[in-house]
């Protein structure tokens, strides 16, 4: 009985309490699991290096901050760049608008100028009529040096207009007044516009107005005036071509003084020998010069007019 009891007592004394065994065994299991996992994990220095490496990668991904000295006061440099860019775009747009306005104004002025020239040319052509010209044509006279002067002498490549006046050297008042006005017009055009004309004085009194007489008479007026005379038939033909009326008293005796009745007009001819316009006695020198100036400025040679009809400006000539 003692043995049995002792054995039981011995058996009962050896085992540890149940709760302690379970806790111990469980803690050992956890520690063993931790030991098993430890070799797979990097050491602290290596982990630190790895974290630093990761940190460097993250830092590289982030935009680096620039020094404060490079940043514009009152905002970031990026903001200042965008502001400057917007200002440059705004300036460029304003510049483009100004350029367009200038070009538009220039184009408008050019086309209005061309349109006005065309209008004047059409008026001139309407005065000439169709087919045979109403005013102007071939004539055959001589100048004060005895040299021939014809319709061809009106033509030139310098776009130089001619202005013709019919009169006579014994005219007491009208002719001198008109020739004085002619001189004023010539001076006005030359001084203000650098326009030079070919002024002609054709006598309506060939019986008394020889080349020498005409030369002496014109010496009192503008030096550029060219005097023309000729036989009675040639002078009459020239007057007829320009629709100039003139008459002398019948049965005039040699040496007898008389007056010649004639038309009082200046006839403006272009550089192609075509009639352009007339300037009457009622117009003063300033008005006459302005009319001449307008026609000279609007003049376009025939060949150039035809070429323009085929160009991009052709719509103006239709």
**151 near 273, Cβ under 8 Å?**
yes
Q: Which residues are annotated as a binding site?
A: 171, 175, 262
Q: In a structure prediction context, what are the per-residue pLDDT tens digits for the chain, which is 318 residues long? A: 444 444 444 444 444 444 444 444 444 444 444 444 444 554 555 555 555 555 544 455 555 655 554 544 554 555 555 555 666 666 667 777 777 787 777 666 655 666 665 666 666 666 555 555 589 999 999 999 999 999 999 999 888 999 999 999 999 999 999 999 999 999 999 999 999 999 999 999 999 999 999 999 999 999 999 999 999 999 999 999 999 998 888 777 777 889 999 999 999 999 999 999 999 999 999 999 999 999 999 998 888 877 777 776 666 655
Distances (CA, A) of 182 to 100, 166, 247: 45, 12, 24
Coil, helix or strand for 275?
strand
**276 near 161, Cβ under 8 Å?**
yes
Pull the structure tokens for residue 84.
């400057």
Q: Which residues are annotated as a binding site for Cu cation?
A: 171, 175, 262
Q: What is the pLDDT of residue 23?
A: 41
Predicted TM-score of the model (pTM): 0.62
Please say whether the dihedral angle defined by the alpha carbons of residues 215, 218, 223 and 228, taken in this order, is positive or negative.
negative
Q: Where are the alpha helices (DSSP H) in 130-171?
A: none
Q: What is the pLDDT of residue 133?
A: 59
Q: Which helix (H) or strand (E) holds 46?
A: helix 44-61
The span from the CA of 146 to the CA of 228, in Å, is: 9
The span from the CA of 211 to the CA of 230, in Å, is: 8
CATH 3.40.30.10 fits 140-302, yes or no: yes
The span from the CA of 173 to the CA of 238, in Å, is: 23
CA torsion 28-31-35-40 (nearest 10°) is: 130
């Amino acid at each position: 009985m003692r043995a049995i009891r002792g054995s039981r007592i011995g058996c009962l004394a050896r085992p540890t309490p149940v709760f302690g065994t379970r806790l111990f065994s469980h803690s050992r299991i956890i520690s063993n699991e931790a030991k098993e996992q430890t070799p797979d994990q990097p050491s602290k220095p290596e982990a630190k290096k790895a974290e630093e490496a990761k940190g460097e990668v993250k830092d590289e991904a982030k935009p680096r901050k620039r020094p404060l000295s490079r940043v514009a006061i009152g905002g970031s440099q990026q903001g200042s760049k965008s502001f400057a860019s917007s200002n440059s775009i705004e300036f460029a747009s304003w510049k483009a608008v100004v350029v367009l306005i200038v070009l538009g104004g220039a184009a408008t002025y050019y086309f209005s100028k061309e349109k006005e020239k065309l209008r004047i040319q059409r008026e001139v052509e309407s005065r000439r009529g169709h087919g045979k010209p109403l005013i102007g044509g071939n004539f055959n006279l001589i100048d004060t040096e005895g040299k021939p002067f014809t319709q061809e002498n009106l033509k030139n490549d310098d776009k130089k207009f001619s202005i013709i006046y019919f009169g006579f050297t014994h005219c007491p008042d009208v002719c001198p007044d008109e020739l004085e006005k002619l001189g004023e017009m010539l001076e006005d055009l030359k001084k203000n516009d650098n326009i030079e004309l070919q002024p002609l004085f054709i006598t309506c009194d060939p019986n008394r107005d020889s080349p020498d007489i005409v030369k002496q008479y014109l010496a009192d007026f503008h030096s550029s005036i060219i005097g023309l005379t000729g036989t009675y038939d040639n002078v009459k033909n020239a007057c007829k071509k320009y629709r100039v009326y003139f008459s002398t008293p019948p049965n005039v005796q040699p040496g007898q003084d008389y007056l010649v009745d004639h038309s009082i007009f200046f006839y403006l001819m272009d550089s192609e020998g075509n009639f352009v316009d007339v300037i009457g006695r009622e117009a003063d020198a300033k008005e006459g010069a302005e009319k001449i100036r307008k026609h000279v400025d609007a003049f376009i040679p025939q060949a150039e007019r035809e070429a323009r009809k085929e160009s991009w400006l052709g719509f103006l000539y239709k």
